[in-house]
Amino acid sequence: MSEKSKIYPHGKVEKIDENIFMVRGSIKMNPLMRITRNMAIVRQGDELSLINPIRVSREVELQIEALGSIKHIVRLGAFHGIDDPYYSEKYSASMWAQSGGSTYTVPKIDNEISAGCQLPFLNAEIIEFNGSMQSECVLLLKVGKGLLLTCDAIQNYGDYSYNNLLAKLLMPLIGFPRATIVGPIWLKFMTPENQSLEAEFRKLLNLEFDSLLAAHGTLLEAGAHAAVEKAIDKAFLNKKS
């Protein structure tokens, strides 16, 4: 099994909708800071797709297995892939990801995702950030009033749970307030020189969604569309489009 994949503090499976679940967890960014990570689980029939996968304890693995068979893993961002090999190896899960990511190159991509592509579950749509330095996309689940799943580009912090003490103290000082935000570090390093990704963010506002689950932070159950619009306005205030 993959040696690089470690288990960090996390919670249990939580239900979002009839066939949508999440597990909130964490990861060490460096020896001093531990920050949040979230995994979404989408069920189609008896097949499960893990979105932004994170390693969990055997107890929580059993909770996931009780929901169905882990058949697919879906990577929404190039910087989230450290735990993908674990699920690929243990469950022979197929890998769904955009092409072009260079941070994590294993497991190999079995199914390349892009705008308009077929996914392993129904009522869903991929929206890509075109022009970013590395690949990133969001996943719209068309259930209820709409649930937007994101990776690093859009994040939401209702609180700082699953961050360690140092991270809790530093987060508001380094651009991660208790709010919905455009990921400042992601935006800085993913924007090509003398260019802007504002239009790529603003096209998200054409989507219908009211809830948001990012790979970092907390679930925003309602009001997500307005919160994302506010975050985009703030991120690109006085910046060249």
Model pLDDT for residues 9-28, shown as the tens digit of each residue: 999 999 999 999 999 999 99
Lookup: tokens for 120: 């392993």
Using the predicted structure, report yes or no on whether residue 241 has a pLDDT greater than 90.
no
Q: Taking all residues of the chain, what is their mean pLDDT, rounded to a whole number?
A: 96
The pLDDT value recorded for residue 100 is: 83
Average pLDDT score over residue span 84-109: 94
Domain spans in the chain, listed from the N-terminal domain onward? 14-235
Q: What distance in Å separates the CA atoms of residue 174 and residue 16, rounded to the nearest whole number? A: 30
Q: How far is CA 180 from CA 167, 183, 203, in A?
A: 17, 9, 17
User: CA angle at residue 78 from 208 to 104, to 5 degrees?
Assistant: 150
Average pLDDT score over residue span 192-205: 97
Using the predicted structure, report yes or no on whether residue 239 has a pLDDT greater than 90.
no
Condensed to tens digits (0 to 9), the pLDDT of residues 205-228 reads 999 999 999 999 999 999 999 999
Strand partners of residue 111: 96
Query: Nearest CA to 201 among 141, 107, 129, 118?
Result: 129
The pLDDT value recorded for residue 105 is: 85
Cβ pair 35, 27 in contact under 8 A: yes
- Fold entry, domain 14-235: Metallo-beta-lactamase; Chain A (3.60.15)
User: At 48, which helix (H) or strand (E)?
Assistant: strand 47-51
pTM above 0.85, yes or no: yes
Contacts of 179 (CB under 8 A, 6+ apart): 156, 157, 227, 231
Query: Rounded to the nearest 10 degrees, how much is the dihedral formed by the CA atoms of 48, 102, 131, 199?
Result: 50
